[in-house]
Amino acid sequence: MRPALLNPLFAPITTLPGVGPKQDKLFRYLLGRNETPRLVDLLLHLPVSVIDRRSRPKIRDAEPGTVVTLEVHVDRHRPPPPGRSRAPYLVYASDDTGDVILTFFRAKADYIEKLLPVGEKRYISGTGQLYDGTLQIVHPDRVVDEAGFAKLPKIDPVYPLTEGLAIGSLRRAEAQALTKLPAMPEWISPEVLRRCRFPSLADALNRVHVPVEPTDILPDGPYWSRLAYDELLAGQLALALVRAQLRRPAGTRNAGDGRLRHRIIDALPYSLTTSQQEAAAAIAEDLRQPVRMLRLLQGDVGSGKTVVALLAAAAVTEAGKQAALMAPTEILARQHIKTIAPLAERAGLSVAILTGREKGKERRDLLARLAAGEIDFLVGTHALIQDDVVFKSLALAVVDEQHRFGVRERLALTSKGDTVDVLVLSATPIPRTLVLTYFGDMDVSELREKPAGRQPIDTRALSDGRLPEVIDAVGRAVTAGKRVYWICPLVEESENVRLTDAEQRFESLQQRFGDKVGLVHGRMRGADKDRVMAQFASGEISVLVATTVVEVGVDVPAATIMVIENAERFGLAQLHQLRGRVGRGSEASTCLLLYREPLGEMSAARLRVIRETTDGFRIAEEDLKLRGEGDVLGTRQSGLPGYRIARSDVHGQLITQARDEALRIMKDNPKLEGASGEALRCLLYLYERDEALPLIGAG
């Protein structure tokens, strides 16, 4: 139950005066919510900059392209000519150093005459631009007289906006939301408050939304940092609650005698790498311990995580138990089963797959076999956590690409058995700070070598002006019997972004290469995707045009060329994942990164790193450094995935503090009792990390 104290903050924003159905729609889009946002969502939407009205330059000294505040004399009006409603309404104003034109589109004449009476003094604020050598302000943000200027805040926050939502409307809504803030209990311990010099929550929110100094809104300042710490503490505490639940003493343990594992290792066409052997041994040791396993297995593209997961599943099968592997997409789940099935068969392990595609009698039969204990290892998607999926004795849950699942999905899977051990896989090597953020204090195994026989990949960056050359080279490769991935950032044409879309590229390549070209994207039906992927794997088609749907887990060893269009629009980790689709066989491979000029500094840095190294761990660290300002497919990716306020580049040291504090809380007050426990429950609800709270009472 949410503490009653928080109810005012969880009221819908439509309860604020002036926020009607039209604005509700815009706020949903801006704040990324499917339903009407609440006041708390509004208060955690922080400004990105400020307008500082304390300096009032003369017109001559106004810096074009910046927001300026000017004191002007209104000289004359020039309404649009009759019958030309699209022409702007111009107001000419001046000071003793020069002139400024105020431009209004679709303006009502009587409104402008009242706002800017000729012969009067007015204060105007807005973005100045030079037009034909004269300063111009289109639709000034503020136009006030002397008395109005005295009342204006001298520093105004500037927020991220969405089209159709005016900055004034957002500021008014934020100001009203601040008045609803209840007196909150303090959840940060006195020692941390003192050491970090954090203000109270109310002070932090008030100073960020109503800045007194321009520095009040900086992410590394005390006010934003306080909010970031709260968010990180909520995340770490939720993880610690889950971990405490997982770490409770477990009864019968799940490690067998090794007979099935030996059969699998004997059936492998290659020998395990040293780090695969070490990871498998660490997992087997975890399965013997009197507490449940919680281990992260991270390894680069193609480092052999699936085989280690299969060995873990075999270990619990030896003890007469079952295992499950949950992947975020169907393509990934089918990729795993393709690797697992032949090896499992040789070892006498029964495996099956369950996704949204298995229906009717086929699904009923599979679920009956699962409940009877006839399936040892079930691979699937979210379909695994549906209510009617019942295991006879689930002992191991393997969760792939964990950061795409919330705590809720993880708990839903582990609740399908008693004291289930958890193994998390990640194909994106995660820097240590982010391991703490995503997983809390987890045991980590890393697969650092590539399996034997993997070839290096020659990576080159080319301007898209050389596209005809690239298509000719692809033509030569196709004639020589090679297979090519061609990646595009979008599925179909977009009005907003000038990028090549997959459908357009598919059509243009089809004109050149005919039915040798196939297309795969996320909006296609599963069966259609599989059909095209199978044609590519078998060599029936030679060029596969795709979106990032092929990013993870697609395995066609015969593919040796990867072309990525608009490579400057992808994140480093994504480029690395995509490149990992080639170089999987015994032939040398090439990756061509096509970029559109001019190339920004950040994009150039990303392409430089990806050309220099194929070490996923180094790429992950570089990605973290660069991504503070990264821009991936037009959405600003700064900070930590799943966090609104905390940013990896600014608040990295707070992650460790939040983790230590969460561990101290779990030691001193694991059931979150008393006044301090009540305060911490408020924190968890405020930052939507409350899914872990039911665990406190759970047995």
Is the distance from CB of 561 to CB of 482 less than 8 angstroms? Answer: yes
User: pLDDT at position 411, please?
Assistant: 73
User: Cα torsion at 593, 597, 598, 601 (round to 10°)?
Assistant: 0
User: pLDDT at position 628, please?
Assistant: 42
| Phi, then psi, of 294 in degrees rounded to 5 | -140, 95
Question: How far is the C-alpha of 329 from the C-alpha of 551, rounded, in Å?
Answer: 11
Residues in a beta bridge with 155: 52
**By C-alpha distance, which of 482, 673, 466, 662 is closest to 562?**
482
User: pLDDT at position 517, please?
Assistant: 96
Residues (pLDDT < 70) of the chain are 246-252, 301, 402-408, 431-441, 451-453, 491-500, 550-554, 624, 626-642, 695, 697-699
What domains appear along the chain, each with residue ranges and CATH number? 55-152 (2.40.50.140), 259-447 (3.40.50.300), 457-613 (3.40.50.300)
Is the distance from CB of 558 to CB of 585 less than 8 angstroms? Answer: yes
Is the distance from CB of 229 to CB of 657 less than 8 angstroms? Answer: yes
Residue with tokens 């301090």: 676
Q: Both tokens of residue 662? A: 């969460």
Residues in a beta bridge with 457: 589
Q: Cα 539 from chain centroid?
A: 35
The C-alpha angle with vertex 635 and arms to 633 and 640, in degrees rounded to 5, equals 115
Q: Both tokens of residue 334? A: 């089918």
Is the distance from CB of 612 to CB of 458 less than 8 angstroms? Answer: no
What residues contact 431, with CB distance under 8 A and at least 6 apart? 620, 621, 624
Question: How far is the C-alpha of 400 from the C-alpha of 182, rounded, in Å?
Answer: 41
- Give yes or no for a cis peptide into 153 (omega within 30° of 0): no
pTM of the model: 0.63
User: pLDDT at position 647, please?
Assistant: 84
Residue 123's SS3 state is: strand
DSSP letter (8 states) at residue 59: G
